[in-house]
Amino acid sequence: MSMLGLPTYQDVVAASARLQGYAHRTPVMRSRLLDAEIGAELFFKCENLQRIGAFKFRGAVNALSQFDERQRRAGVVAFSSGNHAQAIALSARLLGMPATIVMPHDAPPNKIAATQGYGASVLIYNRYTEDRERIGRELAQERGMTLIPPYDHPDVIAGQGTAAKELFEDVGPLDALFVSLGGGGLLSGSALSARALAPDCKVYGCEPEAGNDGQQSFRSGEIVHIETPKTIADGAQTQHLGHYTFPIIRRDVDDVITATDDELVDAMRTFASTMKLIVEPTGCLGLAVARRMKAQIQGKRVGVIISGGNVAIERFCSLLAG
Ligand SMILES: *Cc1c(COP(=O)(O)O)cnc(C)c1O
């Protein structure tokens, strides 16, 4: 941890050790067709094949495995209807502690069932009439539970950084790295690994065009808040970067570039047809932006983190048919 309380690459290294035996070391895949299309050597880090189907398992295990005895007994609480919920639920089960996941009443039933399937209790709240901050404070105060946020936490950031660390270890230095961006846990952690292992590698955050608060924040130097954006990239519908993620992104990331929903659907189709991979819309941000940056990455060695693969198959089909 640095003087500002920001995580460092040493924290990513420590996280790697904690993840041993819990997280998969996901494969790095290549595609000759995509190399030919873009004119670069592409290396895809497949976090869609991580446990729970997304990188978020890494940050969750790293955070929960550092709880002390009292925290373990009381358990963990998280607010999420997405991949963070499942990441916390499975990590808590593997580490033997109770988990409560607070979800909005209109969360998809299959997500609620998946989270309960991992052994977590699900607490439903009405997002129009109830205040989730108050619910969280009460759970924390009355039951002593520890709240783990989806991105703005040093242990979460350090855990997410282990995916890029593995990528550099497996393929060597890269000229550019493309990383999906929501609240910035994955991007800031990846940037810590890039700066340590491949100092000349350009690191790009890849964001949905409809929710470009990260790009605005990166370029203006202030955290910009937006309304929940309308995009198919549901893992990146965040309203703002975090107090830990933003300073790391400003310091260690080279730029933030956006992609449209249509470009995400094109990338989903390419992953399925060319690489036989099911990738959720948010997981397609890296490839969609790499395509946009084709001119700048000619002849380069390029990493792309496929951040997740959790999309209901019916939704996958209707997006491709749409
Ligand atoms: C959460 C998530 C993201 C965004 O990650 P942040 O750390 O919030 O930037 C990207 N892709 C997938 C699949 C996710 O689940």
- pLDDT tens string 203-216: 999 999 999 999 99
- DSSP-assigned letter for residue 127: T
Distance in angstroms between the alpha carbons of the first and the last residue of the chain? 47
Q: Where are the alpha helices (DSSP H) in the chain?
A: 9-19, 32-38, 56-64, 69-74, 83-95, 109-117, 132-143, 154-171, 185-197, 213-220, 245-252, 261-275, 285-292, 313-321
pLDDT tens per residue, range 237-277 = 999 999 999 999 999 999 999 999 999 999 999 999 999 99
Query: In this structure, is residue 203 part of a structural domain?
Result: yes
Does the structure show a pLDDT above 90 at 80? no
- Residue 1 has what pLDDT? 65
CA 321 and chain centroid, separation: 26
Domain count, the chain: 2
Cβ within 8 Å of residue 226, ≥6 positions away: 211, 213, 216, 239, 240
Residues 238 and 203 occupy one common structural domain? yes
In a domain, 4, yes or no: no
Same domain, 40 and 107: no
- Cβ of 236 below 6 Å from ligand 1: yes
Phi-psi region of 236 (alpha: psi -120 to 50; beta: other; left: phi over 0): alpha
CATH number of the domain encompassing residue 36: 3.40.50.1100
- For ligand 1, say whether the CB of 63 is within 6 Å of any of its atoms: no
CA-180 nearest atom, ligand 1: 10
114 and 163 together in one domain: no
- Summarize pLDDT for 173-206 with one digit per residue, the tens: 999 999 999 999 999 999 999 999 999 999 999 9
Phi/psi for 255 (5° steps) reads -170, 165
Asked whether residue 43 falls in the same domain as residue 176, the answer is yes
- In this structure, are 85 and 208 located in the same domain? no
3 assigned to some structural domain: no
Are 220 and 305 members of one domain?
A: yes
Backbone angles phi, psi at 102, to 5 degrees: -95, 120
Single out the residue in 127, 147, 167 at which a domain terminates.
147
d(Cα 56, Cα 66) in Å, to the nearest integer? 16
Local confidence band at 133 (pLDDT 50, 70, 90 cut-offs): confident
Domain final residue, candidates 95, 119, 147: 147
**pLDDT recorded at residue 175:** 98
**For residue 3, what pLDDT is reported?**
61
pTM for this model (two decimals): 0.97
Same-domain pairing of 75 and 44: no
pLDDT at residue number 19:
98
**Residue-averaged pLDDT of the chain:** 95
Say whether both 130 and 268 belong to one domain: no
Whether residue 2 is contained in a domain is answered as no
Is 1 within the bounds of a domain? no
Q: Are 124 and 141 in the same domain?
A: yes
| Residue 129: predicted pLDDT | 87
Q: Could you tell me the residue range of the domain that residue 283 belongs to?
A: 9-54+153-321
Q: Quick check: CB of 182 below 6 Å from ligand 1?
A: yes
Question: Is there a domain that residue 236 lies in?
Answer: yes
Q: Which of 7-21, 117-131, 198-212, 215-229 has the lowest mean pLDDT?
A: 117-131
If you measure from the C-alpha of residue 234 to the centroid of ligand 1, how many angstroms do you get, rounded to a whole number? 9
Whether 289 and 158 map to the same domain: the answer is: yes
For residues 190 and 290, membership in a common domain is answered with: yes
Q: Which residue in the list 81, 91, 190, 217 is annotated as catalytic? A: 81
In a domain, 188, yes or no: yes
**CA–CA distance, 318 with 285 (Å, rounded to integer):** 19
pLDDT of residue 106: 86
Kindly give the pairing relationship between strand 28-29 and strand 121-125.
unpaired
Q: Which of 282, 289, 304, 316 to mutate to test the pocket of ligand 1 (most atoms within 8 A of CB)?
A: 282
137 vs 102, residue with greater confidence: 102
Domain final residue, candidates 99, 115, 147 = 147
Is pLDDT of 48 > 90? yes
Q: Do 50 and 81 belong together in one domain?
A: no
Determine, yes or no, domain membership for 110.
yes
